Amino acid sequence: MNVLQAMLLGLLQGATEFLPVSSSAHLVIVPWLLGWSNPGLAFDSVLHLGTLLAVLLYMRREIEIVVRGWWRSVRRRNLALPEERLGWLIVLSTIPGAVLGYLAEDYFEALFGSPRAVALLLLVTGGLLVASERIGQHSRPLQQASWRDAIWIGLAQAMAIAPGLSRSGTTIAGGLLRGLQREDAARFSFLMVIPIIAGAAGLQIIKLIRVGIEPTQLLNLGAGFVVAFLAGYAAIGFLLGFLRKRPLYAFALYCWGFGLLTLVITFIR
């Protein structure tokens, strides 16, 4: 892998981690289409750290409010205020993904080797986005979110462990189906991904320490990290602004188009 390849993969990871178009699908399909080899554990870990830094910086004010509210709820043993409940809702929403990821890790990892399966799941992502727009009421603010909402959205995030099912897409769709407003559903999606990315990246870093990093990889790792961070930061701002005025149909069309194109190519090859 050269620097240009590292930058392209960083761009894909950073942008598609937060846009509802499946980062895992792009990181499986694009290298496969271009005939690139697997970039390896070190590179994947660094890209995730880049997107983690992006969401931490962009959502820093919301994160501060959530952390302070959570700590206040612990000290006072009170969940009266929305910011006191939100931290616990985020914790609750991460449990289904953690459990399913632990129990079915080998199954989901096997899907990364099948571009055709990933393309099919990308079509499912498009369908979920359309369904959430057609069925959801989109009227409730995040302050009214309940533990039922957190579990529902957490289950959606758990299913998105499969490559091709967009994590941001399924969680935003889950929020819309529960009646949350578009922008608030996206904000909750971005907040709840922080422990998921941190946990996944942490496990990868532990494995990476055991394997070691070759000095020749440092330039590629740095380039991928910077581009993933910048693309992720820009993608968060773009999507929040987009959802204030527009529905998710454009992203659904993209998922369908990219998925169908990939399916056709898998049969041609």
Q: What is the pLDDT of residue 94?
A: 87
pLDDT at 75 over 90: no
Q: What is the pLDDT of residue 104?
A: 66
Structure-model confidence comparison of residues 161 and 238, the more confident one: 238
Write the CA distances from 137 to 89, 154, 164, 173, 184, integer angstroms: 21, 19, 26, 12, 13
Model confidence at 255, pLDDT cuts 50, 70, 90, reads very high
* Secondary structure element (H or E) that encloses residue 122, with its range: helix 115-135
pLDDT digits (tens, 9 = 90+) for 85-119: 888 999 898 888 778 766 766 666 666 778 899 99
**In 3-state terms, what secondary structure has residue 113?**
coil
Q: Considering its fold, how many domains does the chain have in total?
A: 1
Q: What is the pLDDT of residue 79?
A: 77
Considering the entire predicted model, what is its pTM?
Answer: 0.88
Model confidence at 40, pLDDT cuts 50, 70, 90, reads low
Which residue range forms the structural domain that includes residue 225? Answer: 3-268
pLDDT digits (tens, 9 = 90+) for 141-198: 988 888 899 999 999 988 888 888 998 999 999 999 999 999 999 999 999 888 888 8
pLDDT at 127 over 90: yes
Burial pattern 230-255, b for ≥16 Cβ within 10 A else e, equals bbbbebbeebbebbeeebbeebbebb
pLDDT at 69 over 90: no
**Residues 6+ positions from 10 with CB-CB distance below 8 Å:** 47, 50, 223, 224, 225, 226, 227, 228, 231
**In 3-state terms, what secondary structure has residue 79?**
coil
- Average pLDDT rounded to a whole number, residues 41-66: 87
Which of 165, 197, 184, 238 lies closest to 15, judged by CA?
238
Model confidence at 130, pLDDT cuts 50, 70, 90, reads very high
